[in-house]
């Protein structure tokens, strides 16, 4: 619910900012008279502080510091504009910042909001950056997007390495092309929000987000020239559609196109309430900790879990294998599993590669005899979990591990518990129980005159009977059956 409210609020804000461009106003020029704070009338000729209806001209060698929340048409000339701490600069007109201007935008908690065509957004480092209008026409028949190489400031061959030290938000109807030179990254230390109707294309460069990614529109990587990294959670909202609409056919749907031969490293949780699409070698690497789930089944080609993850919903892998190297937690109270579906042209050779640790918990009713839990489904299984932790069972029941046979765990045995009977013949004592009905039990002993909690192994096996020699010179011995 909180995520839906977030995207609703961001969409409304994007629309309100876009409305400023529809008023057809003329921007009056105001020129800086000296260096100083933007809000200081002494900084500007005529003592008029530039605002919503103005173009600000800052000539060299003057430096103007944005010290408050400012909305202005655009900024021109060859001086310097510096964002101050906790300040906000909203730019309305195109071109928004003159390429000849020196622009410093990394002050703590400062925010720059471009409401014009993001193609003209300034390529530089920021603290918080918002693109809050459009580079296409969101009115039927939906004109095509303009040039996707954003942040070029007029030079489409210019690489776009950028660092966003806070958050980045894409609102309205915007498509962002992450870079126009292979391997060049946009690094975001805060959160990335891709609003409804927007897209983020990282096909050429790399996307590095150290915190969370919220996708209300579309996220994609189509050519796999590099790896993408999400240091927090990835949350995909919206309706379930298998594929985005064509640019001429409407807005972006809600989802994530991993692409072909791409790598996506996720350090937090994945919540899929939208659509996820990938082909061939599109791979998710879960290298941190969290959960994998959402309201829609996750259908992807390839999955590797290196971290500590809980399977919150079912996963379907379509073209390649599953690798488990970290710790995977599964709850028997849910019916979730990981299924490998043969893909056309690949055949039925898909394999689950077991490794790492498997932790099975049960937050529901106790398992019943004969119950089968299909945790994995594939044509082949190989490897082994270094450890398998299973929940306790009622007396008389035991686990049958068929993970390498068919990916399942089975509850064996009969409810209740075996009865231990003794038969003495001379100095020999024979202890018996129904070990075929109640497998897995062994005999423990203790010599305390009053029974305590310390029991010792007797060397007993798990098959009845157990025979021991009685020595009258020794203290009394008490016996019991034990099931680990």
Among 8-17, 157-166, 215-224, 343-352, name the one with the lowest average pLDDT. 8-17
Q: Who wins on pLDDT, 100 or 118?
A: 100
Using the CB atoms, write b or e for 237-254: b if 16+ within 10 Å: bbebeeebeeeeeebbbb
Q: Who wins on pLDDT, 324 or 341?
A: 324
The candidate with the shortest Cα–Cα distance to 140, out of 249, 31, 41, 279, is 249
What is the predicted pLDDT for the residue at 166?
A: 98
The candidate with the shortest Cα–Cα distance to 295, out of 315, 268, 313, is 313
Residue written as token pair 């075929």: 436
- Report the mean per-residue pLDDT for the chain: 81
Length of the chain, in residues: 484
pLDDT at 12 > cutoff 50: no
Among 270-279, 299-308, 343-352, name the one with the lowest average pLDDT. 343-352
Residue written as token pair 């259908």: 299
Query: How large a percentage of the chain has pLDDT more than 90?
Result: 36
pLDDT at 255 > cutoff 70: yes
Rounded to an integer, what distance in angstroms lies between the CA atom of residue 454 and that of residue 445? 9
> What is the average pLDDT across 270-277?
84
> What is the average pLDDT across 353-372?
89
pLDDT at 335 > cutoff 70: no
pLDDT at 301 > cutoff 60: yes
pLDDT at 16 > cutoff 50: no
pLDDT at 21 > cutoff 70: no
Say if CB 57 and CB 30 are below 8 A apart.
yes
> What is the average pLDDT across 91-106?
90
62 Cβ neighbours under 8 A, 6+ residues apart: 32, 33, 34, 35, 79, 80
What is the predicted pLDDT for the residue at 250?
A: 46
pLDDT at 298 > cutoff 80: no
pLDDT at 137 > cutoff 70: no
Among 92-96, 314-318, 379-383, 409-413, name the one with the lowest average pLDDT. 314-318
Q: Who wins on pLDDT, 227 or 269?
A: 269
Say if CB 76 and CB 55 are below 8 A apart.
yes
Q: Who wins on pLDDT, 142 or 103?
A: 103
Residue 379, Cα to own-chain centre: how many angstroms?
28
Among 75-79, 218-222, 420-424, name the one with the lowest average pLDDT. 218-222
Predicted TM-score (pTM) of the model is: 0.78
pLDDT at 327 > cutoff 80: yes
What is the predicted pLDDT for the residue at 13?
A: 45
Q: How confident is the model at residue 182 (pLDDT cuts 50, 70, 90)?
A: low
What is the predicted pLDDT for the residue at 426?
A: 85
Residue written as token pair 């972006």: 252
pLDDT at 361 > cutoff 80: yes
pLDDT at 70 > cutoff 50: yes
> What is the average pLDDT across 307-311?
94
What is the predicted pLDDT for the residue at 142?
A: 42
Query: How large a percentage of the chain has pLDDT more than 70?
Result: 79
Q: Who wins on pLDDT, 13 or 478?
A: 478
pLDDT at 242 > cutoff 60: no
> What is the average pLDDT across 209-224?
86
The 3 state secondary structure assigned to the chain is CHHHHHHHHHHHHHHHHHHHHHHCCCCEEEEECCCEECCCHHHEHHHCCCCCCEEEECCCCCEEEECCEEEECEEECCCEEEECCCCEEEECCCCCECCCCEEEECCCCCEEEECCCHHHCCCCCECEEEECCECCCCCCCCCCCCCCCCCCCCCCCCCCCEEECCCEEECCECEEECCCCCCCEEEECCCEEECCCCEEECCCCEEEECCCEEECCEEECCCCCCEEEECCCEEECCCCCCCCCCHHHCCCCCEEEEEECCEEEECCCEEECCEEEEECCCEEEECCEEEEECCCCEEECEEEECCEEEECCCEEECCCCEEECCEEEEECCCCCCEEECCCCCCCCCCEEEECCEEEEECCCCCCCCCCEEECEECCEEEECCCEEECCCCCCCEEEEEEHHHHCEEEEEECCCCCCCEEEEECCEEEEECCCCCCCCCEEEEECCCCCCCCCEECCCCCCCCEEEECCCCCCCCEEEEECC
Say if CB 352 and CB 374 are below 8 A apart.
no
The candidate with the shortest Cα–Cα distance to 376, out of 348, 399, 352, is 352
Among 15-19, 26-30, 122-126, 370-374, name the one with the lowest average pLDDT. 15-19
Residue written as token pair 């979730």: 336
> What is the average pLDDT across 33-56?
97
pLDDT at 158 > cutoff 70: no
pLDDT at 10 > cutoff 90: no
What is the predicted pLDDT for the residue at 259?
A: 74
pLDDT at 153 > cutoff 70: no
The candidate with the shortest Cα–Cα distance to 381, out of 360, 348, 350, 339, is 350
pLDDT at 199 > cutoff 90: no
Query: Kind of pairing, strands 351-354 and 322-324?
Result: parallel
Q: Who wins on pLDDT, 48 or 204?
A: 48
Rounded to an integer, what distance in angstroms lies between the CA atom of residue 4 and that of residue 270? 16
The candidate with the shortest Cα–Cα distance to 277, out of 294, 254, 309, 293, is 254
φ, ψ for residue 403, nearest 5 deg: -60, -40
């Amino acid at each position: 619910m909180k995520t839906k409210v977030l995207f609703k609020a961001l969409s409304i804000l994007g629309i309100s900012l876009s409305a400023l461009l529809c008023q057809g106003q003329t921007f009056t020029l105001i020129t800086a008279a000296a260096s100083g704070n933007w809000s200081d009338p002494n900084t500007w000729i005529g003592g008029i502080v530039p605002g919503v209806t103005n173009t600000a001209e800052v000539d060299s060698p003057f430096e103007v510091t944005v010290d408050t929340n400012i909305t202005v048409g655009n900024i021109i000339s060859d001086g310097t504009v510096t964002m101050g701490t906790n300040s906000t600069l909203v730019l309305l007109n195109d071109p928004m910042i003159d390429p000849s201007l020196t622009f410093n935008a990394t002050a703590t908690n400062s925010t720059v909001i471009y409401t014009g065509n993001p193609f003209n957004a300034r390529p530089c480092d920021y603290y918080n950056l918002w693109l809050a209008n459009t580079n296409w026409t969101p009115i039927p028949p939906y004109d095509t997007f303009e040039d996707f190489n954003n942040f070029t400031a007029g030079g489409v061959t210019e690489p776009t390495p950028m660092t966003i030290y806070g958050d980045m938000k894409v609102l309205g109807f915007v498509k962002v092309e992450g870079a126009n030179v292979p391997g060049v990254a946009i690094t975001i230390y805060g959160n990335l929000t891709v609003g409804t109707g927007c897209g983020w294309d990282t096909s050429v460069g790399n996307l590095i987000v150290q915190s969370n990614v919220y996708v209300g529109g579309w996220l994609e990587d189509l050519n796999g020239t590099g790896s993408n990294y999400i240091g927090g959670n990835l949350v995909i909202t919206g309706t379930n559609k298998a594929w985005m609409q064509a640019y001429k056919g409407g807005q972006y749907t809600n989802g994530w196109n991993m692409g072909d031969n791409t790598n996506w490293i996720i350090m937090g949780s994945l919540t899929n309430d939208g659509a996820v699409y990938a082909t061939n070698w599109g791979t998710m690497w879960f290298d941190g900790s969290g959960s994998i789930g959402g309201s829609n089944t996750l259908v992807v080609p390839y999955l590797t879990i290196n971290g500590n993850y809980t399977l919150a919903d079912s996963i379907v892998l379509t073209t390649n294998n599953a690798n488990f190297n970290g710790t995977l937690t599964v709850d028997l109270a849910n019916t979730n599993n990981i299924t490998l579906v043969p893909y056309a042209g690949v055949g039925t050779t898909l394999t689950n590669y077991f490794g790492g640790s498997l932790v099975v918990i049960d937050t529901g009713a106790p398992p019943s005899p004969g119950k089968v839990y299909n945790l994995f489904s594939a044509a082949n299984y190989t490897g082994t979990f270094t450890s398998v932790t299973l929940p306790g069972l009622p007396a008389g029941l035991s686990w049958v591990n068929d993970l390498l046979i068919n990916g399942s765990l089975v509850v064996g045995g009969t409810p209740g518990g075996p009865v231990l009977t003794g038969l003495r013949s001379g100095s020999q004592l024979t202890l018996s129980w129904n070990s075929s009905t109640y497998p897995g039990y062994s005999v423990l002993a203790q010599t305390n005159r009053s029974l305590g909690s310390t029991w010792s192994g007797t060397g007993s096996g798990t098959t009845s009977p157990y025979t021991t020699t009685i020595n009258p010179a020794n203290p009394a011995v008490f016996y019991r059956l034990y099931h680990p």
